[in-house]
Amino acid sequence: MLDLTTFRARFVAFADTTRYTNDFVTRVLDEAWALLEEDQFGDKADIAHGYLSGHLLLTMPPYTPGEMAGMASRTNSDGQSLSMFAPSAIGSEELMLTAYGRVYLKLQKQALGGTMFTLWTAG
């Protein structure tokens, strides 16, 4: 599992602590690790963890504590409804939306011996 310091060193696009606060990145890292099937990736689990975390950071707005898991939408301070991907609903189509997600899918395919499948489905 990547810690915050290692993640920021490897994925410098997320080094801005104003845009990507330590608290938010840490929660995303924890959520991504919970979603990841570590045994599936073997010695590349940390690499997969980083790319899945990067994908989630780009596709999910910052949350308040307790909001992350399972949220499909939220309302901002102006009362506007915001759509987002719930971590439990990330499938191949959603992962294809970011370069980080596409690398994650490639790692997944390699780990499965060339077989591609969706780990999470909406439901």
Q: Is residue 67 part of a domain?
A: yes
Give CB contacts under 8 A, 24+ apart, made by 11-16: 11/50, 11/53, 11/54, 13/54, 14/54, 14/57
Q: Is residue 27 part of a domain?
A: yes
Range of the domain at 63: 4-71+80-103
Question: From CA 13, how far away is CA 20, in angstroms rounded?
Answer: 10
Please state, in angstroms and rounded to a whole number, the distance separating the CA atoms of residues 108 and 61. Answer: 25
Max intra-chain CA distance, the chain: 48
Contact indicator for 103, 40 with CB cutoff of 8 Å: no
- Measured from the Cβ of residue 117, the count of other Cβ atoms closer than 10 Å reads 9
Dihedral sign of CA atoms 90, 18, 13, 50 in order: negative
Can you give the pTM of this predicted structure? 0.70
- On whether residue 119 sits in a domain, the answer given is no
pLDDT digits (tens, 9 = 90+) for 44-82: 999 999 999 999 998 876 654 444 444 444 454 555 544
The band of 85, judged by pLDDT with boundaries at 50, 70 and 90, is very low
Lowest mean pLDDT among 1-10, 29-38, 43-52, 114-123: 114-123
Identify whether 122 is part of a domain. Answer: no
Higher local confidence (pLDDT), 114 or 7: 7
Digit-coded pLDDT (tens) for 13-23: 999 999 899 99
pLDDT tens readout for residues 89-114: 467 778 888 899 999 999 988 887 76
CA distance 75 to 84: 11
pLDDT at 87: 45
